């Protein structure tokens, strides 16, 4: 009687990881944005991995500056993340030339949503977080989005990345309203570091930007390097 043989790839041949996991966890990321008193903070981890298991760089910033009071963080597939950042810069440059002013954060968020939805049936594998202050009134604005542009603006915090559950958890417990910039920095930094500790795909330190009307605080965080 012939034994049933399981089909499996030849010994030593690499398994195709895309069959086993989501395209969104190929590179790895963790991003948080929070609202404070007349300020916003946005933070991301610095890991860049390939094929999930291999860490290739530890200085990969996922947050891009659009203008002095508007930042966008992108998680998901790194190549899409980079291309989208370049596309957003393109759109904002033209807007600024034509209108003679910087984009409001809400307007920019709608542009982001629009760019993503254009690819509704073949999407960019990136989930953005927009954080900024209104250039005129200084009012804070943050929103998160899924990969096809569904916005979810809130008045407290947004997270995105591979380990959203952990990030949500720490933010829910540590977040307080109306924090001053330095306090907000502490809270968001601790939330990020705690949130990435339970995720092998993000970490290796972090970077935080706290944006107020007249001041920008940018600091790099030292976390567990693993």
Partner 1 sequence: MARRYDSHTTTFSPEGRLFQVEYAMEAISHAGAAVGVRTDEGVVLAAEKKILSKLLETSVASEKMHKLDDHVGVAVAGINSDANILINSARLSAQRYLMTYQEPVPMEQLVQTLCDQKQGYTQYGGLRPFGVSFLFGGWDKNCGFQLYQSDPSGNYAGWMAAAIGANATAAQAILKTEYKEGMSLTDARRLATKVLKQTMDSTKLEAEKVEMAEVSWKSDAKQAVAYRVLKETELAELCDQANKEAEAKAAAGKK
- Chain positions contacting partner 1, by CB under 8 A: 86-87, 89-90, 93-94, 97-98, 100-101
Cβ proximity to partner 1, 5 vs 98, nearer residue: 98
To the nearest 10 degrees (0 to 180), the angle between helices 78-99 and 105-117 is: 130
Residue 105: name the closest of 124, 129, 127, 86 by CA: 129
Cβ proximity to partner 1, 37 vs 119, nearer residue: 119
CA dihedral 47, 52, 53, 57 (to 10 degrees): -30
CA 114 – CA 196 distance, rounded (Å): 30
Nearest distance from C-beta of residue 103 to partner 1, angstroms: 15
CA 59 – CA 218 distance, rounded (Å): 15
Cβ proximity to partner 1, 21 vs 94, nearer residue: 94
CA 112 – CA 123 distance, rounded (Å): 13
Nearest distance from C-beta of residue 92 to partner 1, angstroms: 10
Nearest distance from C-beta of residue 98 to partner 1, angstroms: 8
Cβ proximity to partner 1, 90 vs 120, nearer residue: 90
Nearest distance from C-beta of residue 87 to partner 1, angstroms: 7
- Specify whether the backbone of 216 is left (phi greater than 0), alpha (psi in -120 to 50) or beta: beta
| 30: Cβ contacts below 8 Å, ≥ 6 apart | 44, 45, 75, 159, 161, 162, 163, 167, 192, 195, 196, 199, 202, 203
Cβ proximity to partner 1, 99 vs 165, nearer residue: 99
Nearest distance from C-beta of residue 82 to partner 1, angstroms: 10
């Amino acid at each position: 009687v012939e034994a049933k043989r399981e089909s499996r790839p030849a010994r030593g041949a690499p398994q195709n990881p895309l069959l086993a996991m989501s395209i969104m966890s190929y590179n790895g990321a963790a991003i948080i944005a929070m609202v404070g008193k007349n300020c916003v903070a946005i933070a991301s981890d610095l890991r860049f991995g390939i094929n999930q298991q291999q860490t290739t760089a530890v200085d990969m910033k996922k947050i891009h500056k659009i203008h002095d009071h508007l930042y966008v963080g992108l998680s998901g597939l790194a190549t899409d993340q980079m291309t989208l950042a370049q596309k957003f810069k393109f759109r904002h440059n033209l807007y600024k030339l034509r209108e003679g002013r910087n984009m409001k954060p809400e307007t920019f968020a709608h542009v982001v949503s629009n760019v993503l939805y254009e690819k509704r049936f073949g999407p960019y594998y990136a989930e953005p977080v927009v954080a900024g202050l209104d250039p005129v009134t200084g009012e804070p604005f943050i929103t998160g989005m899924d990969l096809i542009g569904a916005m979810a603006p809130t008045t407290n915090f947004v997270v995105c990345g591979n380990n959203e559950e952990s990030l949500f958890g720490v933010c829910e417990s540590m977040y307080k309203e109306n924090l001053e910039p330095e306090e907000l920095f502490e809270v968001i930094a601790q939330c990020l570091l705690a949130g990435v500790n339970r995720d092998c795909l993000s970490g290796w330190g972090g970077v935080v930007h706290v944006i107020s009307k007249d001041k920008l605080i940018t600091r790099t965080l030292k976390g567990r390097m693993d």
